[in-house]
Amino acid sequence: MRFYMILLFMTSLTFFSCPRLLQDRPFDEYPVYSGSDLGVYWHPEYTSFRVYAPYASAVVVNFYDSGNGGSVKEKVKLKKGQEGTWVTTIHGDHHGVYYTFQTKYQGKWLAETPGIYAKAVGVNGNRAMITDFSRTNPPNWHMDKSPRMLSKNDVILYEVQIRDFSIADNSGMKNKGLYLAFTEENTVNTYGLTTGISHLKALGITHLHLLPAFDFRSIDESTGPPMPYNWGYDPLNYNAPEGSFASNPFCAETRIREFKQMVQALHKQGIRVILDVVYNHTGYTENSAFNLLVPGYYYRHTPSGEWSNASACGNETASERPMMQKFMIESLLWWMQEYHIDGFRFDLMGIHTLETMNAISRVLHQHNPSVFLYGEGWTAGSSPLPDSLLALKVNTPKLDCIAVFSDDLRDGIKGHWNSETDRGFISGASGMEESIKFGVVASCLHPQVNYRKVLYTDGPWSDDPAKTINYVTCHDNHTLADKLLLSCPTASPDEIKAMHKLANTIVMTSQGVPFLHAGVEFMRSKQGIHNSFESPDSINRIHWDLKSENRDMVSYYRDLIEFRKMHPAFKMPSAEMIRSHLHFFPSPPGVVSYVISGNANGDSAPNLAVIYNATRKSVPFSPGNGTWQVVFDKNGILKVPLMTQVKVLVPPLSALVLEEL
């Protein structure tokens, strides 16, 4: 998510209002609750409530019969508990009862809120529901297991927005725009080619990255289809699934059960699930659940008392404060334990502190050693905390088992993210070779990379290849096809295709973790729209018939993924191993070539030579003495390798991989 999302949040009347700091004591003097029972917990014979609101003068819980409409049927006062909390218990089985909290400060009752720990919510997330979560489990949920993952270097990420995945008329899926679309197998497009989850399995990805699927505020779930569109980077209830993706957003249990069915179906197909999380800011500010419980505490502020705004969305959360850090950890654990989520992508991770991110990593890895964590190593504006404390890209070596996106390789490949006309290595820009080499070695230290010529950095920022996410496109900005069409208006259709292939060939044959944008394998377009966060479905939907129009592209991308899986040499587990086994050849402008030698990382190939030719002419290439065979070219994996003993001609705008016999 980028700072242009500010447009969405300007609709809030509280956008730049001053925070109501109702206490004059410093935030670091606030008590810290050490227990693990914050929120609402159902038991067969009673339900317990515990709310953190240390300086409220009173706290009540209001009960309702439904998630919307009607009046309060009962109001119960909470009593002061330990370490700044308020508690109460009600007896009996209250599964299905909706509730809100209210706090009183300086003689005034603040607005109702479901609370920050709400785990089941009604339509539009305004009320939470007491829930026996065992009643939300689909059949055989207790048998659901995450697919096996040998190493984090084996991860192949694929990013999709839930609604985009199935909403098109030609998707072949019945549950359009919903969680349940991911449970439909053997769906086909207009021409009979597979779509949906069967397409993902055949493609060969290992992890599906879902854009925000927690309950966000920008869509009115009560209107029914067609609903307005939004990516969802405006958090409302962090611990409950979004209702607009459910078949019945009015029923709290439905969205929970259907989310679980989605995860279960993906796991069955051998695909792990990543959840995009947005703890760096909230959709509302003064009227957020955080601020209605503990005014001011969960946010950073400028010296003059304004809301600090490193997110460019109206506020930024204060992960350095113990109760915010505690909330983030417990929220992530909830998604892992209740929904079997396998990893998380952190939006604007650079806003969070290194201390908090490392605490998250430590706890989550204790629960699941194979959990995969990564995020954006930047902010969208200035923060009051010094850069040395934040989870920024430059501080990646200080992060523990957390990966960061490489914008250096991204823009080195295709050109600047915020320019329609700027070009990169694949589209003819000069001087991008070192940025490509930097990506090839996963942003790590390598003696043959001239860091003075690398985009956005003057030195290696990663100490571990598994900490680098290599990509060329994501939901932000233009799709790859649109970017190439706009920046290369005179290129022929064949040249556009060739550049498109070359872009992700670089990503897939580089060290580090590759990341693909949904639909890139068949040249997805958003009709040239740069920022589609609230564009209609006609712009954002995945046009599945493109798979038939671009069958050769789909075959090529499938081969790319298979080829990477075949060769451990592309997945070396340490920067030291990369330096020992990967060496670049001298190459002319517009060309990058290298060899991976010595059966690197246990590869069956003694030596692999790779060349990227971004020029408009054929380039001769000799990998060295010995007998070599071309095993991958512009059409994908060669069924019958091409033998060579001297040199080969690398076609324009293409890549070759050779293996020494």
Residue ranges of domains in the chain: 581-660
Quick one: pLDDT at residue 645?
73
The answer to whether the CB of 609 falls within 8 A of the CB of 595 is: yes
| Residue among 127, 210, 118 at smallest CA distance from 164 | 210
d(CA 583, CA 84): 59
Q: Above pLDDT 70, what percent of the chain?
A: 96
Quick one: pLDDT at residue 17?
40
Parts of the chain with a pLDDT under 70: 1-24
d(CA 33, CA 261): 34
Quick one: pLDDT at residue 21?
52
Catalytic residues: 347, 376
Q: Token pair of 118, please?
A: 């709400």
Q: Tell me the backbone φ, ψ of residue 229, rounded to 5 degrees.
A: -105, 145
Q: Which residues of 475-513 are buried (b: 16+ CB within 10 A; e: fewer)?
A: bbbbbbbbbbbbbbeebeeebbbbbbbbbbbbbbbbbbb
Q: Looking at residue 181, what DSSP letter applies?
A: G
The answer to whether the CB of 375 falls within 8 A of the CB of 349 is: yes
d(CA 397, CA 459): 12
The answer to whether the CB of 147 falls within 8 A of the CB of 368 is: no
586-589: list long-range contacts, CB under 8 Å, 24+ apart.
587/433, 587/611, 588/615, 588/619, 589/430, 589/433, 589/615
Quick one: pLDDT at residue 643?
86
Q: In 3-state terms, what secondary structure has residue 212?
A: coil
Quick one: pLDDT at residue 2?
47
Angle at 427 between CA 422 and CA 431, to 5 degrees: 75
DSSP for 437-477 reads HHHHTTT---TT--GGGSTT-SS---SSGGGEEE-S--SSS
Task: Please list the alpha-helical segments (H only) found in 175-244.
Answer: 196-203
Quick one: pLDDT at residue 19?
43
Quick one: pLDDT at residue 304?
92
d(CA 293, CA 528): 43
Quick one: pLDDT at residue 22?
54
CATH architecture of the domain with range 581-660: Sandwich (2.60)
